[in-house]
Chain A
Amino acid sequence: DAKTTQPNSMESNEEEPVHLPCNHSTISGTDYIHWYRQLPSQGPEYVIHGLTSNVNNRMASLAIAEDRKSSTLILHRATLRDAAVYYCILRDVSVGGGADGLTFGKGTHLIIQP
């Protein structure tokens, strides 16, 4: 799976929107963009994924750049429970790809101030 680059940490205030960036300049046409988060003492939790179009679900929104070389995870109204490490991961789903495990980087440590 191709590599992603994320800031080590970000800080935001409670009840404000949070935009978490991810760069993936070597993304291929068959790479889906996945986001997971990991709260302290828990396993990673799936947040959202997309291929080309922006995506929304109950947890977050995913904005994908037109050239697909970057994406942004948007938490519309952060709460203290959103404090976690957020991982941006590319997942190749071509024939023969997508079968192996996820490749996690160090992610972005999101700090939420009350």
Chain B
Amino acid sequence: DTGVSQDPRHKITKRGQNVTFRCDPISEHNRLYWYRQTLGQGPEFLTYFQNEAQLEKSRLLSDRFSAERPKGSFSTLEIQRTEQGDSAMYLCASSSRRGEEPQHFGDGTRLSIL
């Protein structure tokens, strides 16, 4: 079990630039989740996939945010035209098919907007 891997660990960019983060889930996990965490708060759910299907995206913060999981394996989260308020930790998690099974989190990508 290599765990959930996220890349990069840190991203610093200028306001207005586009950024993309990658998540590699645990290999046998069907479900993949994205969260955002700001300082002093718990993680906030953004979106999730079951295999390649994105089954929930209404929680994405704006239309500048999008996510893909084209082959049902790794996933990417893209933020277009970044704003200062996008500075946060972006976390990815994966789980197996059963609803009550725990989610396994990566250590996140910390985004800083200059």
Contact = CB atoms under 8 A, between A and B. Distances in A.
Contacts, number: 64
B102 A49 contact: yes
Contact of A99 (B44, B56, B106, B107): B56
A45 B108 CA distance: 12
B65 to A, nearest CB: 14
Interface string B46-67: 1110100001100100000000
A42 to B, nearest CB: 5
Contact of B105 (A43, A51, A93, A107): A43
B111 interface: no
Interface string A12-46: 00000000000000000000101010000111111
A interface bracket (residues with beta carbon within 8 Å of B):
20 to 34
Contact of A101 (B4, B59, B107, B108): B59
B33 A101 contact: yes
Contacts of A36: 102
B59 A106 contact: no
A87 B42 contact: yes
B100 interface: yes
Interface in B84-105: 91, 93, 99-100, 102-105
A100 B91 CA distance: 15
Given A41-B107, A99-B55, A100-B48, A46 B102 contact: yes
B43 A44 contact: yes
Interface in B1-44: 4, 33, 35, 40-44
Interface of A: 32, 34, 36, 41-46, 49, 51, 85, 87, 91, 93, 97-107
Q: Ordered nearest first, which 9 A-B pairs have the shortest CB separation? A: A101-B45, A98-B99, A104-B42, A43-B105, A46-B102, A93-B99, A93-B100, A32-B100, A44-B105
